Amino acid sequence: MHKMRINMPLPPKHHISFSPSDRSVDILPGTSLLEAAWMAGIRLASTCGGNGKCLQCRIIIRDGKTSPLHPAELKSLTEGELEEGYRLACCTFPLSDLAIHIPEQSLLTDIRLQLEGISGEKTLEPIIDVWEIHVQAPSPEDPRADLDRVKEGLENYINAVELTADIGSTRQLSSLLRENDWRVSSYVRSNEIIGFGPHGSPPLGVAIDLGTTKIAAYLMNLLTGRELAAVGALNPQARYGDDVMTRLRYAVNNADPSGRSPGKLAQEVRGTIRDMIAGLVEKTGDSLSQVADLCIVGNTAMTHLLLDLPVRQLAASPYVASVSQAIDIKARDLDIVASPGAYAHILPSIGGFVGADHIAMILATDIDRATGISLGIDIGTNTEIVLRRPDKTRMVSASCPSGPAFEGAHITDGIRAMKGAIESVKLTVNSVEYRTIGDASAIGLCGSGIIDAIAELNKWDLIDERGRFKKTNGRIIAGEQGLEFQVAQGDGKKGKGRIVIRQRDIDEIQLAKGAIRAGIAALLEVTGTSPDMVGEVILAGAFGSFINILNAVNINLLPWFPNARYKQVGNAAGQGAKMALVSKNERRRAQQISAQTNYLELTTHPGFNRLFADGMMFPKIIR
Amino acid sequence: MHKMRINMPLPPKHHISFSPSDRSVDILPGTSLLEAAWMAGIRLASTCGGNGKCLQCRIIIRDGKTSPLHPAELKSLTEGELEEGYRLACCTFPLSDLAIHIPEQSLLTDIRLQLEGISGEKTLEPIIDVWEIHVQAPSPEDPRADLDRVKEGLENYINAVELTADIGSTRQLSSLLRENDWRVSSYVRSNEIIGFGPHGSPPLGVAIDLGTTKIAAYLMNLLTGRELAAVGALNPQARYGDDVMTRLRYAVNNADPSGRSPGKLAQEVRGTIRDMIAGLVEKTGDSLSQVADLCIVGNTAMTHLLLDLPVRQLAASPYVASVSQAIDIKARDLDIVASPGAYAHILPSIGGFVGADHIAMILATDIDRATGISLGIDIGTNTEIVLRRPDKTRMVSASCPSGPAFEGAHITDGIRAMKGAIESVKLTVNSVEYRTIGDASAIGLCGSGIIDAIAELNKWDLIDERGRFKKTNGRIIAGEQGLEFQVAQGDGKKGKGRIVIRQRDIDEIQLAKGAIRAGIAALLEVTGTSPDMVGEVILAGAFGSFINILNAVNINLLPWFPNARYKQVGNAAGQGAKMALVSKNERRRAQQISAQTNYLELTTHPGFNRLFADGMMFPKIIR
């Protein structure tokens, strides 16, 4: 439903139709085609906030008049593409009705998310108790209130003197009792009734890993601890910046001055989470009113934006969080539909850039209990690293702004880990061998493929220590935009399927891996630890779980730990969220981890610039 | 801002202009003129829900075409009035643009509300503590979260281990700290920070007496217990029925089946309360964010509708409340704007029709501590009565559906206690003497005036024991609509200012006072108390405070208590709300009163019909 003021004449709208999805939308002049696609429900990719930077929102104009080419388009689109009608949707405005084609690569679809994570036997001690209550029907002689009756029934199980009831649960009760022969399931959280359900309905919980780019949600039975369903989605906030800082700046610049309604970024991510939860219970045939508890992890910026906490102070030095302790908040206060009085538990964080997801990773990987020196690395748009020495009481954590390059952003032919993405690369004497996800035709390189390709370039001495392409030699060729290495040739038609790595791609990876490498070095330095002392290296996150570790060492993303066992554990943050969802003990442990971990601010660490410069290098140590 | 669906052609609207207020509104055909007036912000009276029953929404059509006369109008409007253009707004629909005049008597204005109540020294022990905190500014070496810093400061005063912070208070903190040189006032409610304010801002509270007809709100300083301002308003739900049962039925029939959004009745009363609180702090120049606590009382139906609790089971025998214990609910969950984490405390109730306002009345009048046998009567649309014997551990309360007749409704020339209302009447041998509120020209009779008039009729033997007018005798005259007694003659022009009492008015009063009289009798009966044993009779509520007690006894509204002291205490419920607002002790005492009071259901009391029939009589005992 559109809102409009009466008596405000509006200019005529343009009708925009999209293929191949067969959707359309009517928009006012001045609306970009990126916004038009979003309005039509088309998940057109964009990670720069719509200002011609990320170059992901490529579309083809099939019919109609549009605004003139924007400099960003002249710079990024080839002549052949321009002839075909390619435009960047964010820089293009309609001058007439339009017919638009969206190439598959421009869509945010079929993302392979890490939903499984590591497994492990953990304690089951949910914060929700469920009690089945059967009460006497009221009569003129006994007209006591419905809730009083149920509380009396609960007194058989628990000390109900201090028992309170969420107003939403009270709203459910009168009709539930009368429709179910005076029997109800009562969901009780310590001394509060948070909801009721029909007799015999088990309480469910949802664990959520709220990433900068991706969101994973898991539906669990709180009585058995069993996972019932899982679902992944993209963080809709990515439209407003794919890295944390851009997104925080957007939030600061677009805050509602009255503070009355939640910010746009909060609204969007809450809507996505609400939809994910609805999708989960639909999958299993359960009811939203059974969702009696939630546990949410994410980096500090993501949890702040979800909670609609102020972020101005988080976006500038000294990067101060509004709150770092665990938060229990009514799900309804996050616009989430669940059992009416259900809470969401947000795990505690450590610093402005070491968030609840990091704590969850430590929970899931037991780093806090390891017997040897343990290093945990969760590679993402931000990479968090923790180092623990059993001989010291406190752990140390740091955060590196590694950026989205490992997720394919800002890379010429980079794509997310989707069908057709090259995930591994190997050079032979006269060919390039690669493997794609789903064994489909190659459409781009995902993170692990890029690492492999650059490691191979390094092994074959095609780049120097500073990451510069060596002169052309048959394998390095001079393309339209400078030297490039061809990973896949494609079918030759207008460059379709041709996949290359250019100098600027190596530069991007170099910055990302330099930051991570420097973070590891700084943690080793401040704890007085040499690489040979490290007994265990845990790589978490989707990317960390798929990379070839030898190649990661080869490109100097990781140092060589001669005595370490490596574990690639997948989505450990999600696993930690699940553990804390079903166990009060794990929530207490998370508090302890938060209290026992020091935050190392890398930007003020003496000598960090040197470590960063070292980390950018490609040392010629072929193992 | 109107909401409309695009592409839905709507019929042309009619422009309705109102005098003397000079407002106008455009409405669709099919909208009644009552709704039109409300849309234009004109407080046109209506207590029957807009179905031609209460006859209050009288308007005059000055220009334009309207729908034909409704049977209700033909029945209730005189020929002279029809000639003048009088219509009932609820039965009239526009057929063209219209010019409408609203007579002053049809407006809900200038109501004299009882805001003062009894006074008394009470304990000051507010649930809110305020602590002034000054913290160190963060730095790269100390980037701890803002909230952690403040909690550390609070540890100097309180045990902060279990201290939590409402998410809304956390949202306030970061900018408050930075704009006030790192100083804040922290409002703490037991172990929860519910809000922050600039350094030195005292916490305020609002006590609310939510009546079926009227709402009174009081702004208090929680540190001093001093009342800062008071405001009264009409309960906007009166549009949907002026008595409790009509209103409950409306709520049942108009419930949102999804249960997602609060019911219309909840929304309306919440809006009024929100506006009243905003008006209070505007009066005193304080800020809404200082409103750190609320305490609300009302009858069970009113608190249920405010809380949006289900009322189907409350509207039919055995009249079961959803909840009767005290409720603490976030003000924001009632759509009330205050300090972000502020709670509203709803006092407990006793039965389906003996609510929190009754408990508040007992609190304020100390009936639970009286040394003799004490009877408390709060006369309103529902009349609640409590009887306490110091020799018994439990009090007994009952509720009588006395209806709105004492507030002037359903009475030919009945009006609320407003300027020009006749508030007392005395007959002499050859004249009628009366006094009006504000000494203005008489425009109608309010409750105490009606009681006086009927008592005089009884004393002068102009009505019989069954309340029937005796034959005409010069004072009782035959009017257009049967026998009538003229209280005021008016100026003779078209009957303007002429005020009469007709047989059906006496019938209405008879039903109302019969219900109260029977309730008192039943309480005396079940407690084995004779009238001469009663030591104290407390009359609360606006009406009860203004009536002439001798006349109330004369018409058999009250029995004769030969040994009782009478106290007319005004709005005791509001006073009790204020006491509970500023004192945790009084809240505990309210719980005790709730637990120690039995509810007597009158409809199932054996012999109630006999008591009711007796109560309707006018015994000829002239004292």
Complex confidence, ipTM: 0.75
Q: Is the dihedral of CA A33, A36, A38, A40 positive or negative?
A: negative
Query: What's the confidence (pLDDT) of residue A11?
Result: 67
Nearest chain B residue to A163 by CA: give it: B325
Reply yes or no on whether the pLDDT at A121 is more than 60: no
Query: What's the confidence (pLDDT) of residue B535?
Result: 92
Higher pLDDT, B268 or A7: B268
Query: What's the confidence (pLDDT) of residue A8?
Result: 41
Where do you find CATH 3.10.20.30 in chain B?
Answer: 14-106
Amino acid letter, residue A600:
L
Query: What's the confidence (pLDDT) of residue A485?
Result: 93
A322 contacts in chain B (CB < 8 Å)? 145-147, 170-171, 173-174
B356-404+510-616 maps to CATH 2.30.29: no
Query: What's the confidence (pLDDT) of residue A296?
Result: 98
Query: What's the confidence (pLDDT) of residue A623?
Result: 43
Looking at CA atoms only, how far is residue B550 from chain A in angstroms?
A: 36
CATH number for the domain formed by residue range(s) A128-198: 3.10.20.880
Query: What's the confidence (pLDDT) of residue B112?
Result: 33
Amino acid letter, residue A516:
I
Compute and round to an integer the Cα radius of gyration of chain A.
Answer: 27
- A49-53, A206-210, B366-370, B439-443: which has the minimum mean pLDDT? A49-53
Mean pLDDT of A215-238: 92
Do residue A318 and residue B4 have CB atoms under 8 angstroms apart? no
- A39-48, A248-257, B159-168, B266-275: which has the minimum mean pLDDT? A39-48
Looking at CA atoms only, how far is residue A221 from chain B in angstroms?
A: 25
B14-106 CATH, one of 3.10.20.30, 2.130.10.10, 3.30.70.2500, 3.40.640.10: 3.10.20.30
Separation between Cα atoms, residue B494 and residue B19, nearest integer Å? 21
CB A558 within 8 A of CB A517: yes
Q: How many CB atoms lie within 10 A of CB B123?
A: 12
DSSP SS3 for B550: helix
Half-sphere exposure of A163 (CA within 13 A, CB side): 23
When pLDDT is cut at 50, 70 and 90, the band that residue A122 belongs to is low
When pLDDT is cut at 50, 70 and 90, the band that residue A9 belongs to is very low
Nearest chain B residue to A150 by CA: give it: B323
A119 Cα distance to chain centroid? 20
Do residue A313 and residue B146 have CB atoms under 8 angstroms apart? yes
Is the entire prediction scored with pTM above 0.95? no
Taking each helix axis from N to C terminus, what angle separates A356-365 and A572-582, rounded to the nearest 10 degrees?
A: 80
Q: Is the dihedral of CA B92, B93, B95, B101 positive or negative?
A: positive
Separation between Cα atoms, residue A286 and residue A6, nearest integer Å? 44
Do residue B310 and residue A4 have CB atoms under 8 angstroms apart? no
A352 contacts in chain B (CB < 8 Å)? 143
Query: What's the confidence (pLDDT) of residue B473?
Result: 73
Do residue A171 and residue B312 have CB atoms under 8 angstroms apart? no
Q: What is the rounded (10 degree) CA torsion for B241, B245, B248, B253?
A: -80
Separation between Cα atoms, residue B219 and residue A610, nearest integer Å? 63
- For chain A, the average pLDDT equals 87
* Tens of pLDDT, residues A155-164: 878 876 689 9
DSSP characters for B218-247? EEEETTT--EEEEEEEE-GGGGG-SSHHHH
* Tens of pLDDT, residues A333-389: 999 999 999 999 999 999 888 999 999 999 999 999 999 999 999 988 789 999 999
Buried b (16+ CB within 10 A) or exposed e, A160-177: beebbbbbbbbbbbbbbb
* Tens of pLDDT, residues B447-458: 999 999 999 999
- Closest by CA to A44, choosing from A54, B432, B447, is A54
Do residue B322 and residue A173 have CB atoms under 8 angstroms apart? yes
- For chain B, the average pLDDT equals 87
- A564-568, A578-582, B146-150, B518-522: which has the minimum mean pLDDT? A564-568
Mean pLDDT of A399-413: 87
Q: How many CB atoms lie within 10 A of CB A478?
A: 11
Reply yes or no on whether the pLDDT at A312 is more than 70: yes
* Tens of pLDDT, residues A572-612: 999 999 999 999 999 999 999 999 999 998 888 889 999 99
Mean pLDDT of A468-485: 85
Amino acid letter, residue A30:
G
Query: What's the confidence (pLDDT) of residue B75?
Result: 84
For B171, which of A1, A310, A604 is closest by C-beta distance? Answer: A310
Reply yes or no on whether the pLDDT at A64 is more than 80: yes
Reply yes or no on whether the pLDDT at B207 is more than 80: yes
Do residue B170 and residue A6 have CB atoms under 8 angstroms apart? no
Mean pLDDT of B603-608: 88
* Tens of pLDDT, residues B20-57: 877 888 887 777 898 788 767 676 776 565 667 777 78
CB pairs under 8 A between A and B: 143
Reply yes or no on whether the pLDDT at A112 is more than 70: no
Mean pLDDT of A271-280: 96
Separation between Cα atoms, residue A28 and residue B353, nearest integer Å? 57
Mean pLDDT of B134-150: 91
DSSP SS3 for B530: coil
DSSP SS3 for A249: helix
Query: What's the confidence (pLDDT) of residue B587?
Result: 96
Reply yes or no on whether the pLDDT at B407 is more than 50: yes
Query: What's the confidence (pLDDT) of residue A297?
Result: 97
Query: Given its phi and psi angles, is residue A585 left (phi above 0), alpha (psi -120 to 50 degrees) or beta?
Result: alpha
Separation between Cα atoms, residue B262 and residue B265, nearest integer Å? 8
Do residue A164 and residue B328 have CB atoms under 8 angstroms apart? yes
- Residue A460 neighbours by CB under 8 Å, 6+ apart: A427, A475
Nearest chain B residue to A334 by CA: give it: B167
Higher pLDDT, A377 or A261: A377
Eight-class DSSP state of B201: P
Mean pLDDT of B103-113: 57
Separation between Cα atoms, residue B371 and residue B373, nearest integer Å? 7
Query: What's the confidence (pLDDT) of residue A47?
Result: 57
Question: Please, which contacts does B256-264 make with residues 24 or more away whose CB atoms are closer than 8 Å?
Answer: B259/A171, B260/A337, B262/B308, B262/B335, B263/B305, B263/B308, B264/B240
Mean pLDDT of B395-399: 94
Residue from B3, B26, B154, B167 to probe the interface with A (highest A Cβ count within 10 Å): B167
Query: What's the confidence (pLDDT) of residue A116?
Result: 40
Reply yes or no on whether the pLDDT at A44 is more than 80: no
CB A361 within 8 A of CB A378: yes
**φ, ψ of residue A31 in degrees (nearest 5):** -95, 130
For B147, which of A1, A323, A603 is closest by C-beta distance? Answer: A323
For B174, which of A313, A317, A604 is closest by C-beta distance? Answer: A313
Higher pLDDT, B273 or A404: B273
Higher pLDDT, A76 or A520: A520
Where do you find CATH 3.10.20.880 in chain A?
Answer: 128-198
Mean pLDDT of A469-497: 81
A325 contacts in chain B (CB < 8 Å)? 145, 147-148
- A489-503, B108-122, B244-258: which has the minimum mean pLDDT? B108-122
Do residue B175 and residue A309 have CB atoms under 8 angstroms apart? no
Q: What is the rounded (10 degree) CA torsion for B412, B418, B421, B425?
A: 110
Do residue B312 and residue A174 have CB atoms under 8 angstroms apart? yes
